[in-house]
Amino acid sequence: MRALIKALAESFVHHRKAGVLVPFTVWMAALFVFNYSLDFEDNYIDTIADPVARWAAMWAFQTVPYIVTCLLLRMHFGKEIALKNFRFWAIVIFGFAVLSFDRTVYFWGLFEDLAVTAQARSKVYYVYKIASMFKGVFTVILPLIFLSLIADRYRKTGAYGLRPAPFDLKPYIILLAGAAVMVAIGSTISDMQNFYPKYARSGGSAFAQAVEIPEWLAVVAYEAAYGFDFISTEYFFRGFLVIGLYRFLGPYVLLPMAASYAVLHFGKPAAEALSSVFGGYILGVIAIHHRSIWGGVIVHVGLAWMMEIAGYLMRL
């Protein structure tokens, strides 16, 4: 735990001394005001009918915050930020194309034809929600593994940190204990109460009734799939953006990743999106410390399940 705290402190002090935290904070504030005043993703990107145009809009939405943050770093750290490296730009463009595809591809049409009656729809929609949480294997993990083989075939990064690395569980248990306090506080906010548990919007209750099973089985299946979904999230943001791009940006990979990670949360309550900036930064330090995504997966999944549990408790 001491080593992890030291790594966090050193990373924060380094960014603070360089003076980059102030412009980064101003930039993030502008992004938050822009999104939450316009509800940009829901009102603009998600309403684009053409899938290619929607993908391109999402690419810009996710990539611009990353690039602007990289430019801020370049202003403060100069040539230490390798923005003139063609390979860096090629990898970034491809990586965010993968993320944008994952965020805009929907396959409800494959299930919709089965939902010919209201009862059938109650079954099919829940199955669709479960299946959609496994799509990251094909839309994120496999493409990035392919990229790692092409772009990093001479490097021992374990396919961007996908390879398990030995580590002590105790620090992560302590982090989750601290996170539990924040979740308890956050659960009193009305936006959080309306958003969680996500299971409430999955159709699981109707599915359980339709197939005549105890609802707790539907809850367990949904929450297991929900936890699995965070593997692809960690793989992109901490594996690809941190471990994969560390050789170009060094320890400065954390702020661009945190900016783009916040954008990922812009469809969620503002308090959660704001906390994702700090949470993403901490998970990025963990990824650098262990050269693996699995410590972050433990923290992320644990936090997500705690928020679900808090949501269930608030509805009692």
- Give me the DSSP letters along the chain: -HHHHHHHHHHHHHHHHHT-HHHHHHHHHHHHHHHHHHTHIIIIITT--SHHHHHHHHHHHHHHHHHHHHHHHHHHHGGGS-TT-HHHHHHHHHHHHHHHHHHH---HHHHHTT--SHHHHHHHHHHHHHHHTTTHIIIIIHHHHHHHHHHSTTS-SHHHHTS-----SHHHHHHHHHHHHHHHHHTTSHHHHHH--GGGGTTHHHHHHHHT--HHHHHHHHHHHHHHHHHHHHIIIIIIIIIITHHHHGGGGHHHHHHHHHHHTTTS-HHHHHHHHHHHHHHHHHHHHHTSSHHHHHHHHHHHHHHHHHHHHHT-
The count of structural domains within the chain is 1
pTM of structure: 0.89
Give the residue, 136 or 192, on which the prediction is more confident.
Answer: 136
pLDDT digits (tens, 9 = 90+) for 119-176: 566 678 888 889 899 999 999 999 999 998 888 765 665 788 887 766 677 777 888 8
Tens-place pLDDT, residues 258-290: 999 999 999 888 888 998 998 899 889 888 888
Whether 189 shows a pLDDT value over 80: the answer reads no
Asked if residue 116 has pLDDT above 60, the reply is: no
Q: Which domain holds residue 8?
A: 2-314
